[in-house]
Chains A and B, each alone.
Chain A
Amino acid sequence: MNNTQSLPMESTIKLQIDRRDVAVAPGTSILEAARGAGIHVPSLCYMNLRDTCISNLPASCRICVVEVEGRRNLAPACSTRCEEGMKVTTTSARVMNAQKTVLELILSDHPTDCLICPKSGNCDLQEMAARLKIREVPFKGEQSSHVKESSPSIIRDMNKCIYCRRCEMMCNKVQTVGALAAVNRGFNATIAPAFERPLGESECTYCGQCVAVCPVGALTENDHTNRLLADLADPSKTVIVQTAPAVRAALGEEFGLPAGTSVTGRMVSALRALGFDKVFDTDFAADLTIMEEGSELLDRLARFLDGDKTVALPILTSCCPAWVNFFEHHFPDMLDIPSSARSPQQMFGAIAKNWWAREAGVKREDLVVVSIMPCLAKKYECARDEFKENGDPDVNYSLSTRELAGLIKRANVEFDSLPDGDFDRPMGESTGAGVIFGATGGVMEAALRTAHELYTGKKLENVNFESVRGLQGIKKATVDLDGFELKIGIAHGLGNARALLEEIREKRCEYHAIEIMACPGGCIGGGGQPLHHGDSARLKARARALYAEDAGKPSRKSHENPCIIKLYEEFLGKPLGEKAHHLLHTSYFNKGKAIQER
């Protein structure tokens, strides 16, 4: 939007910002125009994730106000359009006094416990207070007092909320979940589930996108770091870890590395340094997922092509726990459509506790399986009852990328200078197909690589399905399987998923298979990832890192993973077989009903 050079002259608007001539496209806001010209007008509630259709423009914090000549009051730069001949001043005494006063007002109703806040050092408000050099808050008065609330994934501390409405926008406009919205008014206005019920009793899917965009410490993850430290210190426990594909593409950002730096090797070394007994890879389980989910797709397709009218198509992926929660809440009439395959996290847990433990001679009760996930819904997923055996979860608990980074820092590990380590065998062995699970379209691409070969019986030469990559909200493609035209759809963000599901419900859907990821960009943009602070370039860089890692892998098809082949031979039998069905598949529940009955 700020690239004015390439625009033809007649379609530009010329204005002055701080006595500098600026030309922008019609519709450009003063804030975008100013930033494009190198004038960084401060902002808090504003957020614009370019190329994702995600933007937050309530114009409510009033930090970005500027002076526009001829206008009675100050204008919020974020939501005031540029007009021909406008004269804008961003640094007058009037503007600076207003910005400072508004920030003082926000701080007058904000706890000053920065030293012990989970967002300390990563807080937009803290940064703004430092930038505007706030040294005292002249306004004393009532402080908001809400009860801090904890759910399996998310902690809400609304006393820290600055009412930027980003979480509300994410939950409603982007995710169409509708769990969080503004309630009450005036000074008592806050963001909460309906009737101010706990999050756990709402439609919340735990996607964590509210946490991902919260500029302050109001929404944070349910932190399991101390639990992990206790387990690692317990000599009677064998503690093993799995790391999701998207973690390695983002973890480096927490250590000052540029977005898109793949840190797989250093991450493995760090985990080993932390004291894990085995460092395994969720990518291994991703390959396993492809075996099961891909087989299920082919099975349903075969039956469909045989004329079986009862077969549920399209098949929907089921790796994403927030997505599973979403359809359990909002589409309980369609529980038969998603694949019954468990997510990679849970497949890993089931194999680890039922197979690896036996192979390694570890008793189930002594084995602690920890996952490092880009996701907050995974914390909820591993606590689901159906993934427990006699109360013992297959995956004991899950830490986010951010929590891992924090732990590495606490453990005096110099991340930058770590040597590259290798995952342990056998559950650390993975193909490129497993790696790309972390980006939107990746699961579908991985499935296509396997399904193509299994369906046609021919070797797939070009494994890159470019048409399913990228940040477009809904992607559609047709893949030629030796004459059979497989129609696929890909959605990331639950609002896009809803659009596809409604098509299915209204029988307007022409797809055979659909991949859905709850978070924008897929897992790389997960609620547990390093905060993007409104910069979508970070998401794109993380995706590039995953595709680069895929390209560098010796094997890029899940069914070629030697450890997977061995696992089926020695333990599981064949995909969709009885053992696989028992350990690797699941069923879904109507959660909408539970809420209605409450």
Chain B
Amino acid sequence: MSYKMHVLVCGGTGCRASNSQEIIARLRESLEERHLDGEVQVIATGCFGFCEQGPIVKIMPDNTFYTRVTPGDTAEIINEHVVKGRKVERLLYKDPREDKSVSDSKHMGFYQKQLRVALRNCGFIDPENLEEYIARDGYAALAKCLGEMTPREVIDEIKRSGLRGRGGGGFPTGLKWEFAGKYRADQKYVVCNADEGDPGAFMDRSIMEGDPHSVIEAMAICGYSIGASKGLVYIRAEYPLAIQRLKIAIEQARACGLLGERILGSDFNFSIELRYGAGAFVCGEETALIHSMEGARGEPTMKPPFPAESGYLGRPTNVNNVETLANIPVIITKGAGWFNKIGTERSKGTKVFALAGKINNVGLIEVPMGTTLREVIYEIGGGIKNGKKFKAVQTGGPSGGCLTEKHLDVPIDFDNLLASGSMMGSGGMIVMDEDDCMVAVAKFYLEFTVEESCGKCTPCRVGNKRLHEILDKITRGEGEPADVDRLRNLGKVIKDTALCGLGQTSPNPVLSTLDNFPGEYAAHINERKCPAGRCKALLSYVIDPRLCIGCTLCTRACPAAAIVGNRKEPHAIDAAKCIKCGTCVEKCKFKAIFIR
């Protein structure tokens, strides 16, 4: 059956949470009522990335991009757009810069600078439909490997592509495959690291939800090249949709002979199983991940031996992150030469980032390596929310560093970010504005790493705890001048001595904010002030007697009975009783209460 029109509706986790499944059901109902279901097909796709504007509905072939669609809008979309060919103006994206509607995603700032390689199929195909994946050159790469290439040639192709691990480390993927290929064993394993743990990051989840076959195909290619017949996906149990779609895809591939014995008539056998993680951040570290899969405590061990030599059940194991794997089929079909033209000198291809924080266009983006932070924040991200001033951007997840104005024109790649005092990590990008206190930000991230440390090595177990305690002390206004040196020395020692990547990077938020915002630390410690007005303990609420008319509204609202004063006379706040909840400020109609 060939359809005249396709209605693509985002079926990613974010849009589903905003009722996209009901939108799909209503669209289908409306089409059936009008007997258009033979001509127009509704497809639940993976994530479009523009989560800020979700749920997204895209009409093909005219590329109309509807935003913030509700189930109530479906009738109008069918009646107006599908039947009468008139676009529903009010659902089109409004470009805030020019204040006009943009109907086509190609002309939206959010998409213009993007290059979707790993996300090539997300938001385009039905992830639960193998044919749609195949129609987009799916499994052509596996067929090419099995039919035309030796394992060695596959590894060489990946090496030539310059692909580096997208999970955080940036280790050359081809080299990793080569190591795993080198060892002889009765059994080898390919492991897909889907233990995405950075707060706010959903790159890997989107790929698995939107294009699960790309991961499966890549794992099979890896298995062929290193001589492994078993694949394991270590995925968080808290990703139910990704799990469901992976299971469906694995079953489809098996049913079609794309997994299993003698794949595509070759001698190559490959099967994939899922392993569930309970959501420990440290299990993203490959040795910890392997221990967790083995049923042991999820904590890292020293390398060497590398998993390539002794991994899962002591066998040679290659561990790659989801996004890394999603790049593999394209590299094989389009060639290493195509891939390595994208990006910078030492970082090839693209990188997916989860844009979050005080930025207009929150969502998932993919850009060529070498794109600047300014382009990402201002052009793709649409700038800072509410016209506030940009203050910092934190890249690399909870253990990345906070970069500032002066880093905005740095081309993003593994080495530049490292040189700037942050890191690529798995692709978290959190934007902060003038209202964010950088000491509090550092404290927030340390809280995360303290919580997620496995506790194995001293620097991470005790050191991060102490870093957090010192930061907490400073934000409570109890810091002392020596704390700055203490933080700096301790941070450096933790980085220098911790066992795994978690501890070796966890002090980054502290060290980078110390470097880039020394004044904020000084203000907290020396003047007992929080310039951003975030640290509660350092604030005091004051009533301006000239503006207060004694209406008593604040007195009645105050939960701590901290406000005193006679009716129709200026009131005053008892600082000792005040809990700094801000209720009085909200209640005061005369703007007489301010924070000092």
Contact = CB atoms under 8 A, between A and B. Distances in A.
B459 A186 contact: no
Given A60-B456, A186-B455, A98 B497 contact: yes
Interface stretch (B70-78, B121-129, B173-181, B486-494): B486-494
Interface in A38-93: 57-63, 65, 73-74, 76, 79-81
A139 interface: yes
B451 A59 contact: no
Contacts of A98: 493, 496-497
Interface of B is mostly: helix
Interface in A137-184: 138-142, 162-163, 181-182, 184
Interface stretch (A104-112, A275-283, A319-327, A379-387): A104-112
Nearest to A165: B456
A312 B458 CA distance: 51
Interface string B440-483: 00000000001111111111011111100110000000000000
Contact of A73 (B297, B463, B504): B504
A354 interface: no
B493 A186 contact: no
B462 A105 contact: yes
Given A58-B456, A62-B499, A138-B486, A186 B450 contact: yes
Contacts of B458: 60-63, 102, 105-106, 162-163
Contact of A74 (B465, B490, B497): B497
B280 interface: yes
A109 B461 CA distance: 10
Nearest to B450: A186
B302 interface: yes
B304 interface: yes
Given A76-B302, A94-B496, A186 B297 contact: no
A106 B493 contact: no
A94 B463 CA distance: 17
B450 A187 contact: yes
Contacts of B450: 186-187
B524 interface: no
B455 A187 contact: yes
A184 B497 contact: no
B249 interface: no
Contacts of A105: 458-459, 462-463, 466
A185 B490 contact: no
Contacts of B489: 97, 101
Nearest to B465: A187
Interface residues of B, number: 35
A164 to B, nearest CB: 10
Nearest to B452: A186
Contacts of A74: 496-497
B498 interface: yes
Nearest to B493: A101
Given A60-B456, A76-B302, A187-B453, A106 B462 contact: yes
B495 interface: yes
A185 B499 CA distance: 15
A189 interface: yes
Contacts of B299: 182
A59 B302 contact: yes
Interface in A99-126: 101-102, 105-106, 108-109
A5 B450 CA distance: 48
User: Secondary structure of the A side of the interface?
Assistant: loop
Contact of B469 (A59, A106, A141): A141
A478 interface: no
Contacts of B282: 185
A163 to B, nearest CB: 7
A60 B496 contact: no
Contact of B455 (A61, A80, A97, A188): A188
B496 A185 contact: no
Nearest to A101: B493
Contact of A186 (B304, B454, B466): B454
A62 B490 CA distance: 14
A138 B493 CA distance: 14
A189 B450 CA distance: 11
Nearest to A110: B462
Given A61-B457, A141-B469, A186-B453, A108 B462 contact: yes
| Residue with the highest number of chain B CB atoms closer than 10 Å, among A73, A142, A186 | A186
Contacts of A138: 486
Contacts of B451: 186
B491 to A, nearest CB: 10
B459 A142 contact: no
B453 to A, nearest CB: 4
Interface string B298-320: 01011010000000000000000
B466 A97 contact: no
Given A186-B455, A187-B455, A59 B499 contact: yes
A209 B462 CA distance: 27
A139 B455 contact: no
Contacts of A142: 465, 469
Given A60-B499, A105-B462, A185 B493 contact: no
Nearest to A138: B486
Most buried by A among B297, B304, B456, B490: B456
A61 B302 CA distance: 12
Given A73-B495, A74-B496, A184 B455 contact: yes
A32 to B, nearest CB: 15
A73 B497 contact: yes
Interface in B1-24: none
A62 B302 CA distance: 12
Nearest to B457: A60
A158 to B, nearest CB: 13
A63 B459 CA distance: 10
B499 A141 contact: no
Contacts of A184: 455
Contacts of A94: 496
Identify which of B450, B452, B486, B496 gathers the most chain A CB atoms within 10 Å of its CB. B496
Contacts of A106: 458, 462
Contacts of B469: 139-142
A97 B485 CA distance: 13
Nearest to A105: B462
A186 B461 contact: yes
Contacts of B504: 73
Contacts of B452: 185-186
A146 B92 CA distance: 60
B314 to A, nearest CB: 15
B297 to A, nearest CB: 6
Nearest to A100: B493
Given A73-B495, A185-B280, A108 B466 contact: yes
B273 to A, nearest CB: 26
Contact of B302 (A79, A101, A109, A139): A79
B457 to A, nearest CB: 5
Contacts of B304: 81
A371 B301 CA distance: 43
Leading 4 A-B pairs by shortest Cβ distance:
A189-B455, A141-B469, A186-B453, A105-B462
20 contacts: A58-B301, A58-B456, A59-B457, A61-B458, A62-B458, A73-B497, A73-B504, A79-B302, A97-B493, A102-B497, A105-B458, A108-B462, A108-B466, A163-B461, A185-B454, A186-B451, A186-B453, A187-B453, A188-B455, A189-B461
Interface of B: 280, 282, 297, 299, 301-302, 304, 450-459, 461-466, 469-470, 486, 489-490, 493, 495-499, 504
Given A140-B469, A185-B454, A186-B450, 20 more contacts: A59-B301, A59-B457, A60-B457, A60-B499, A62-B458, A62-B498, A73-B496, A73-B497, A94-B496, A101-B490, A106-B462, A108-B462, A138-B486, A163-B461, A181-B297, A182-B299, A185-B453, A186-B455, A187-B462, A187-B465
Interface of A: 57-63, 65, 73-74, 76, 79-81, 94, 97-98, 101-102, 105-106, 108-109, 138-142, 162-163, 181-182, 184-189
